[in-house]
Amino acid sequence: MKILQLEYFIEVVNHNSFTKAAQALHISQPSLTATIKKMGHDLGYQLLKRSTKEITITEKGIQFYNYAVNLVQQYHQTMEQMYDLKLSQTPKIKMATIESTAYWVSIVIRQHQQQHPDQHYQITEILNPEILAQKLTNFELHLGISNDQIRHEDVVSVPLYEEDYVLLAPNDTFESQTAISIKGLPLILPNKPYQVRKHIDDYFTHLEERPNIVMEVERFEAATNFVHQGMGYAVIPRVYYQSRYTQHLSALTIRPTIKRTIYINYARNRQYSDHVRNLVTACQRYWGTL
């Protein structure tokens, strides 16, 4: 069975119509109908039931559809990667970051690209360390930044820098204080699944206190916007305070402090190009850890 046949079947299911699918695929409807009918014959089970009024998908057709979608996606991703190799002798460096590192990562990559003008990059954001480890060991990524050490036998996790969390508040809100307790303050925090939220929850557990959470958000940018609106105070990494979103806001030291370490991670058993190794070195030099 060919990828093209799978794509035909996917279009029919997505449009729930042979006519609309044929138009989208730019082929004749009889040709499309014959292809789908032959697929069912070759497989030995019916994929679709067709009446004069509607098309319904069988239970086995649903399972086949899910497999087909996955196969087609993998095929196109593989072809894209092969095409990248044809275009350049230096394939894209694929790197995962976290939101709070965007500022300095952009500086490092710009410097790296000036040294390697033929290099291209693909930057994604991955917040879950387990997913990051999986993508590194599956060779889907070259490098990844995490806000906790990845403890995996096939991943090397190198510390880059330590930073504290700060309280983001409108200017002059706590004018006379150099450090502040966040007990009882109305807080805008990341949602539960994120590692930053775990750090903050662990902090309050250690203090034997419950945080006063007035809002939960997906990103630091969203938290910052709500602080601007006076809806509460955000706990953010100090390095994120360098971003443009924090204008007119103060970053106050939290008492007692909350700290975290930022790591750069890569697969232990992968043979990396000089360009990738140079990028790791550039990250370490930026933070003075080399």
- Residue 90 pLDDT exceeds 70: no
Of the chain, the percentage scoring pLDDT greater than 90 comes to: 55
- Considering the chain, tell me which residue range(s) the CATH 1.10.10.10 domain(s) occupy: 3-75
Average pLDDT, the chain: 89
Q: Does 87-160+262-287 carry CATH code 3.40.190.10?
A: yes
pLDDT class of 57 with cuts at 50, 70, 90: confident
The pLDDT of residue 87 is: 56
Q: What are phi and psi of 75, to 5 degrees?
A: -60, -50
The pLDDT of residue 17 is: 87
DSSP 265-286: EEETT----HHHHHHHHHHHHH
pLDDT tens for each residue of 118-171: 899 999 999 899 999 999 998 889 999 999 999 999 999 999 999 999 999 998
**Three-state SS at 2:** coil
How many angstroms separate the CA atoms of 117 and 257, rounded?
42
pTM: 0.70
How many angstroms separate the CA atoms of 50 and 253, rounded?
67
Beta bridge partners of 169: 250
How do 93-97 and 121-125 pair as beta strands?
Answer: parallel
* Mean per-residue pLDDT, 250-279: 92
**Is the Cβ–Cβ distance between 252 and 174 less than 8 Å?**
yes
- Residue 178 pLDDT exceeds 80: no
The pLDDT of residue 247 is: 73
Burial environment of residue 148 by CB neighbours within 10 A (0 to 12, 13 to 18, 19 or more) = middle
How many angstroms separate the CA atoms of 180 and 103, rounded?
26
* Mean per-residue pLDDT, 87-115: 89
Integer CA distances (angstroms), 32 to 16, 67, 261, 267, in order: 13, 20, 56, 45
Question: Which class is 3-75 in CATH?
Answer: mainly alpha
Integer CA distances (angstroms), 143 to 118, 128, 157, 166, 193, in order: 19, 14, 10, 27, 22
pLDDT tens for each residue of 181-227: 999 999 999 998 888 999 999 999 999 999 999 999 999 999 999 99
DSSP 134-183: HHHHTTS-SEEEESS----TTEEEEEEEEEEEEEEEETTTTTT-SEE--T
Question: Which class is 162-260 in CATH?
Answer: alpha beta
In this structure, of 32-36, 78-82, 157-161, 189-193, the range with the lowest mean pLDDT score is 78-82
In this structure, of 10-14, 54-58, 65-69, the range with the lowest mean pLDDT score is 54-58
pLDDT class of 76 with cuts at 50, 70, 90: confident
- Residue 84 pLDDT exceeds 70: no
- Considering the chain, tell me which residue range(s) the CATH 3.40.190.10 domain(s) occupy: 87-160+262-287
Of the chain, the percentage scoring pLDDT greater than 70 comes to: 94
* H/E stretch holding 123: strand 121-125
How many angstroms separate the CA atoms of 7 and 30, rounded?
16
- Considering the chain, tell me which residue range(s) the CATH 3.40.190.290 domain(s) occupy: 162-260
The pLDDT of residue 249 is: 87
Q: What is the dihedral of CA 252, 254, 259, 263, to 10 degrees?
A: -20
- Residue 177 pLDDT exceeds 80: no
SS (H, E, C) 102-118: HHHHHHHHHHHHHHCCC
* H/E stretch holding 190: strand 187-190
